[in-house]
A = this chain, B = another copy of it.
């Protein structure tokens, strides 16, 4: 096959191309790790957001970065796996209060530890300083573009 064209090289090496593609790569890696517990990435995020406290389904969504329609399936799944429970809020019967089960808490801890290892492996082409630098830059971009859910 011939050399990539100048245009293709430009597009392929751009940050706006790399970010979604690397994001997909990471998502797949995370998915493979989480298969052990029957979880997907966003379900683990919800699990960790709910870790150690009680929130409404809506609040959990905001924290997790998911809107309320998406949260329904996420909480359904966590409930079905026995990792979380829904209870009606007695002070506002529109709301559900979500709490993790003992199992859910344990799984969150285990999964996060395993993910840390997978992440270390993924980032291993960079040295410690570079990994830190990358994280800092990504965090700044993330906060600048704050994908806060359920704003208006």
Give chain A's interface residues, CB within 8 Å of chain B: 1-2, 4-8, 10-27, 29-30, 41, 44-45, 48-49, 51-53, 55, 59, 62-63, 65, 108-109, 112, 115-116, 118-119, 122-123, 125-126, 130-131, 133-135, 137-142, 144-145, 147
Contact = CB atoms under 8 A, between A and B. Distances in A.
A137 B130 contact: yes
Number of copies: 2
A18 B45 CA distance: 12
Nearest to A13: B139
A51 B19 contact: no
B22 A19 contact: yes
20 contacts: A4-B63, A5-B49, A5-B53, A8-B51, A11-B49, A12-B48, A13-B135, A13-B139, A14-B115, A14-B135, A15-B119, A15-B131, A16-B26, A16-B30, A16-B119, A18-B142, A19-B26, A21-B65, A123-B141, A126-B137
